[in-house]
Structure 1
Amino acid sequence: MVKRGNDIRPLVKLRSTAGTGYTYVTRKNRRNDPDRITLRKFDPVVRQHVDFREER
């Protein structure tokens, strides 16, 4: 069973920095990445790879 409160790998929502409102949902490891993560992923609205930042 998975704990939801203080999970070591919580679900995080990544929002596009291009301003399109497109999001990805992924998991991150809190021990390895305690700060907000930024990943470069494809945004289908602008059809380019852009930075996606974690939102809380």
Structure 2
Amino acid sequence: MARNELRPVIKLRSTARTGYTYVTRKNRRNHPDRLELRKYDPVARRHVTFREER
């Protein structure tokens, strides 16, 4: 497998609908489902859930 196929770059979009995103990489072999992380949204000024966008 090529590097980009195993660990693709993904966008994590805020569920607070502020339009704020984080960019990260994930391992498809260990986490084949969509990623959900609780991170800080500076626009909303609070921690919210960020979901993977494809």
Answer yes or no: same fold by TM over 0.5. Answer: yes
Which runs of 4 or more aligned residues in structure 1 lie more than 3 Å from their structure 2 counterparts after TM superposition? none
How far apart are the structure 1 equivalents of 2:19 and 2:26?
21
Structure 1 counterpart of 2:49, from 48, 51, 55: 51
How far apart are the structure 1 equivalents of 2:3 and 2:38?
29
- Percent identity between matched residues is 72
Structure 1, unpaired ranges of 5+: none
Give the RMSD, CA atoms, in angstroms. 1.1
Report how many residues are paired: 53
Matches within 5 A, 1:1-56: 3-4=3-4, 7-56=5-54
